[in-house]
Amino acid sequence: GENVEQHPSTLSVQEGDSAVIKCTYSDSASNYFPWYKQELGKRPQLIIDIRSNVGEKKDQRIAVTLNKTAKHFSLHITETQPEDSAVYFCAGGEGTYKYIFGTGTRLKVLA
């Protein structure tokens, strides 16, 4: 079945620096790669996603890159701010109907 690995599990950056979180997936049939943000005590919410026919997508300070050959995709946050502190999850859609998440990255932005 699908396996989605996410690294690192924790990440601390200084405010204003960039943060990068990486995920790898196993199912070649996966074609949708979302990233979710979960603030403490809240539900996960989509922040950006990318489909397999696109190599990169940006939305203000957030970007996602996809390398289908290597089966990995990354979340990039630039000019980090304290409100970026949260747990971030990547997900991979298995070839059938499952929506499998990575184990999460706890990002701490230090003021």
What is the contact surface with other proteins in residues (CB under 8 A)?
Answer: 1, 6, 9, 31-32, 34, 36, 43-46, 49, 51, 89, 91, 93-94, 96-104
Are 35 and 44 in contact by the 8 Å Cβ rule? The answer is no
Residue 110: CB minimum distance to other proteins, A: 22
- What's 100's DSSP letter? E
Judged by beta carbon, residue 17 or residue 32, the one nearer other proteins is 32
Order the strands of the 62-67 sheet from edge to edge.
4-7, 19-25, 72-77, 62-67, 56-59
Judged by beta carbon, residue 18 or residue 103, the one nearer other proteins is 103
**Measured on CA atoms in the order 2, 68, 37, 110, is the torsion positive or negative?**
positive
Residue 95: CB minimum distance to other proteins, A: 9
Judged by beta carbon, residue 35 or residue 109, the one nearer other proteins is 35
